[in-house]
A and B are shown apart, each in its own frame.
Chain A
């Protein structure tokens, strides 16, 4: 049994989706997250069991709205989508074929997707084709993750475009920047998966465009609008992070051989492992908590609690930590500021700044 499987133990593997893979790139320095994800552990279940349930959920209204919008875009063989693609890509597509990969049944979908894309890449004809419900795959730390995009891959003249459907609004040409950034990270996962598939098939991976097509509702109505979105930067981050994950062995080497994050689920799938024991095991793998985790990682409250107990400057955000130039604990930083502690080697500059800042604050608040 490989070490990652041992980490997971008897807990069923949680498949990765594009959102989870995209979130990996958000905090590349976190060994705890890398190991949990590498082993395919259900972080949400673990957080709940530890008494630190994740602070995010999705409103049923938002889910309904998202589903309605996606259905609208894809209705009648993606008629609405095709209209937009014609406009956006400025292409004289008289007729475009629509191919629903889901028709073949789930178990064959991935193989079928491969075969379809292989043929399309080989023919390289001018005929445009929309592939609905393709099933892509991506290797994450030696495990194959299947990606079931609500997206559609569009092929024209031998080039493929990833289409990402999102239900946040674009109002007068502007959308919420954080929502767009999240969509870009997620779309980058699909671009990468599709590029790797083409490479395996012996085609040029760059035939998958780095410009994805983002489809969102326009203004306050349900009418969709398509916009191009360049995901080159997100692709770079993702590739770097995935290559690090293949280096999980190095992270594992530093851990005790009997370490496991097994939840020991009973027949109903409920964890039976004592929470304190699981917490101890998790502390064995170093986390790198940052407040941004609060919107991206299921374990965030657990790690924040740990950072509080350690009095880590990480709690205050990356900005503060960077400004403190590597002083990791609150006590240490305050000690340097009021002169109770002598600076270690390399800390002279930050100690001088902190002492100065402390003097100024005292003077102004006296």
Chain B
């Protein structure tokens, strides 16, 4: 969080309504999102209690484990869940496009991908655990489960891992996405309550949002009072219907909130880089589907040293790219960098479009631009700059003093003796330049897994899920 966001929170508190901290939407929204609200049994790591899910707001599907301690019912629940989620996921695999690659074979990429929308990060974490607890099961052997259960487990594991990827929209958590676009007048901790956060954005704060009798928690944990006074007696009574109805009351309000939140996000125009990130998601989704089709084993319990290092490098790169893209897409995000002096915006007051450096053959076109700005520029001469107005352009800071910044353009003005039309900003134009750029150093070359050095445990053993894994208790 930056000072800009803190100021927005103060303003929200003062005015009694959340304040925007983004002018565009930074998350992809599917035309057919799968809203998924799971509940778990308190005190257990990953014992499902119920879930409501669906792609249409007037057709929620409620799945309930009417006796949560019964292992068979739990697997039956997982099979029911698979019956709804797998057709949805696999429905995106048919329509594909062929993507050509340099130095590699072309591959097929799905034209669209599934999107699971969860209420909060805890729901995302629980979904990942559901995947972990089901992906090693087998349809044969001593404790057989329906074949769809381990397949579901592998998909949920995939979605869970992808959710950790900055900028991915395959499994967003609503409270996080709302928090990226609006600042409420409460703390980040309290924003984890979906009802309270939405209240701030729509009508203004209300104590009702924290009353579990009015707005039950959005899961996966249930309200302890509900557990004690309603759920425990219902389970005790042995009436499946009573348990189902009890859990329906806990899920229905959240179901409505989820669609309300999706509407709010859909009301914002999509950021320019969202489609590009979604393309990565589509590629990743197709890659996972291809692995499954090839009969690869379930994801290992833990990454080996090389796999972990390369995952970390990918996460870091994605994080950096996500931050830069958001700033380029959204002037309000860029403003955070202007505040810290890593970016500046202002009006062009002078240009020398034909300025060149060097003589004869080594003559290079280096148009000069002078910008008048009110921003506190903290960039040293020679710093490489980019601009959201002309994304292909590269520039370099020449000098910055007294609110006047001189820069020379080094890239993106064509090959002629004079700059291509429109490539150099005109006097009077408002422009923004920043030292944030999308060029990242490639990650260090990592050895093949078989060549893992002894310092990192040596080559990892090939992971083969055994009978132990398949039989693992789920109590």
- Give residues in A with beta carbon < 8 Å to B: 55-66, 167-169, 171-173, 217, 219-223, 291-292, 294-295, 311, 313, 315-317, 319-320, 323-324, 330-331, 333-334, 337, 353-354, 356-361, 363-365
Contact of A60 with B339 at beta-carbon distance under 8 Å, contacts A294-B189, A365-B23 already known? no
What's the least CB distance linking A333 to chain B, in Å?
A: 5
Query: B320 near A: Cβ within 8 Å?
Result: no
What's the least CB distance linking B447 to chain A, in Å?
A: 24
Query: B262 near A: Cβ within 8 Å?
Result: no
For chains A and B in complex, what number of residue pairs have CB atoms within 8 angstroms?
Answer: 144
Contact of A220 with B475 at beta-carbon distance under 8 Å, contacts A330-B13, A337-B7, A358-B7 already known? yes
Point out the residue from B42, B129, B187, B210 that lies within 8 Å of A317, measured CB to CB.
B187
Contact of A330 with B332 at beta-carbon distance under 8 Å, contacts A57-B225, A219-B472, A365-B23 already known? no
Say yes or no: B43 contacts A316, CB within 8 Å. Answer: no
Say yes or no: A171 contacts B129, CB within 8 Å. Answer: yes
Say yes or no: B339 contacts A353, CB within 8 Å. Answer: yes
- Across the interface, name the chain B residue whose C-beta is closest to A168: B45
- Across the interface, name the chain B residue whose C-beta is closest to A359: B374
CA distance A334 to B374 in the complex (A): 21
**Ranked 5 nearest A-B pairs via Cβ:** A62-B43, A221-B473, A169-B45, A59-B42, A291-B187
What's the least CB distance linking A225 to chain B, in Å?
A: 12
Say yes or no: A320 contacts B9, CB within 8 Å. Answer: yes
CA distance A359 to B375 in the complex (A): 10
For residue A294, which residues in chain B have a CB less than 8 angstroms away from its CB?
189-190
Say yes or no: B187 contacts A315, CB within 8 Å. Answer: yes
Say yes or no: A66 contacts B43, CB within 8 Å. Answer: yes
A-B contact pairs, 25 of them (CB 8 A): A57-B224, A59-B43, A59-B224, A62-B224, A65-B43, A66-B43, A169-B44, A172-B132, A172-B302, A219-B133, A220-B46, A291-B186, A291-B187, A317-B188, A319-B1, A320-B10, A334-B10, A356-B375, A357-B3, A361-B7, A361-B335, A364-B331, A364-B332, A365-B20, A365-B332
For residue A59, which residues in chain B have a CB less than 8 angstroms away from its CB?
42-43, 222, 224, 227-228
- Across the interface, name the chain B residue whose C-beta is closest to A331: B14
For residue B224, which residues in chain A have a CB less than 8 angstroms away from its CB?
56-60, 62
Say yes or no: B45 contacts A220, CB within 8 Å. Answer: yes
Most buried by A among B46, B187, B338: B187
For residue B189, which residues in chain A have a CB less than 8 angstroms away from its CB?
291-292, 294-295, 317
Point out the residue from B3, B43, B339 that lies within 8 Å of A61, measured CB to CB.
B43
Query: B314 near A: Cβ within 8 Å?
Result: no
Interface set, chain B 275-309, CB cutoff 8 A to A? 301-302
CA distance A330 to B43 in the complex (A): 39
For residue A356, which residues in chain B have a CB less than 8 angstroms away from its CB?
339, 375-376
- Across the interface, name the chain A residue whose C-beta is closest to B5: A320
CA distance A16 to B348 in the complex (A): 67
Interface set, chain B 379-417, CB cutoff 8 A to A? none
For residue B20, which residues in chain A have a CB less than 8 angstroms away from its CB?
365
CA distance A63 to B68 in the complex (A): 15
What's the least CB distance linking A230 to chain B, in Å?
A: 22
Say yes or no: B10 contacts A222, CB within 8 Å. Answer: no
- Give residues in B with beta carbon < 8 Å to A: 1-4, 6-11, 13-14, 20, 23, 41-47, 68, 129, 132-133, 185-190, 210, 222, 224-225, 227-228, 232, 301-302, 331-332, 335, 338-339, 374-376, 472-475
CA distance A324 to B210 in the complex (A): 27
Say yes or no: B6 contacts A316, CB within 8 Å. Answer: yes
Say yes or no: A62 contacts B474, CB within 8 Å. Answer: no
Say yes or no: A320 contacts B475, CB within 8 Å. Answer: no
For residue B132, which residues in chain A have a CB less than 8 angstroms away from its CB?
171-172
Beyond the given A57-B225, A62-B224, A334-B11, please list 18 additional residue pairs across the A-B interface where CB-CB is below 8 A: A59-B43, A59-B228, A60-B224, A61-B44, A167-B43, A169-B45, A219-B472, A221-B472, A316-B187, A317-B189, A319-B188, A320-B9, A330-B10, A334-B10, A359-B374, A360-B335, A361-B8, A364-B331
For residue B68, which residues in chain A have a CB less than 8 angstroms away from its CB?
61
For residue B1, which residues in chain A have a CB less than 8 angstroms away from its CB?
319-320, 323
What's the least CB distance linking B39 to chain A, in Å?
A: 12
What's the least CB distance linking B220 to chain A, in Å?
A: 13
What's the least CB distance linking A130 to chain B, in Å?
A: 26
What's the least CB distance linking B185 to chain A, in Å?
A: 8
Say yes or no: B474 contacts A63, CB within 8 Å. Answer: no
For residue A61, which residues in chain B have a CB less than 8 angstroms away from its CB?
41-44, 68, 227, 232
What's the least CB distance linking A296 to chain B, in Å?
A: 11
For residue A319, which residues in chain B have a CB less than 8 angstroms away from its CB?
1, 6, 188
CA distance A61 to B233 in the complex (A): 12
Point out the residue from B10, B338, B472 that lies within 8 Å of A333, measured CB to CB.
B10
CA distance A333 to B185 in the complex (A): 14
For residue B13, which residues in chain A have a CB less than 8 angstroms away from its CB?
311, 315-316, 330
Say yes or no: B3 contacts A354, CB within 8 Å. Answer: yes
For residue B374, which residues in chain A have a CB less than 8 angstroms away from its CB?
359
CA distance A12 to B222 in the complex (A): 34
For residue B225, which residues in chain A have a CB less than 8 angstroms away from its CB?
57
Say yes or no: A219 contacts B10, CB within 8 Å. Answer: no
Say yes or no: B10 contacts A316, CB within 8 Å. Answer: yes
Say yes or no: A173 contacts B302, CB within 8 Å. Answer: yes
- Across the interface, name the chain B residue whose C-beta is closest to A337: B7
- Across the interface, name the chain B residue whose C-beta is closest to A329: B10
Point out the residue from A220, A222, A359 that lies within 8 Å of B472, measured CB to CB.
A220
For residue B43, which residues in chain A have a CB less than 8 angstroms away from its CB?
59, 61-66, 167
What's the least CB distance linking A340 to chain B, in Å?
A: 12
Most buried by B among A60, A167, A292: A60
Contact of A315 with B186 at beta-carbon distance under 8 Å, contacts A60-B228, A219-B472, A320-B6 already known? yes
CA distance A180 to B253 in the complex (A): 32
CA distance A330 to B224 in the complex (A): 34
CA distance A60 to B234 in the complex (A): 13
CA distance A66 to B43 in the complex (A): 7
Say yes or no: B45 contacts A219, CB within 8 Å. Answer: yes
CA distance A333 to B301 in the complex (A): 49
For residue A317, which residues in chain B have a CB less than 8 angstroms away from its CB?
187-189
CA distance A281 to B437 in the complex (A): 57
Say yes or no: A334 contacts B335, CB within 8 Å. Answer: no
Point out the residue from B4, B14, B475 that lies within 8 Å of A221, measured CB to CB.
B475
CA distance A361 to B375 in the complex (A): 13
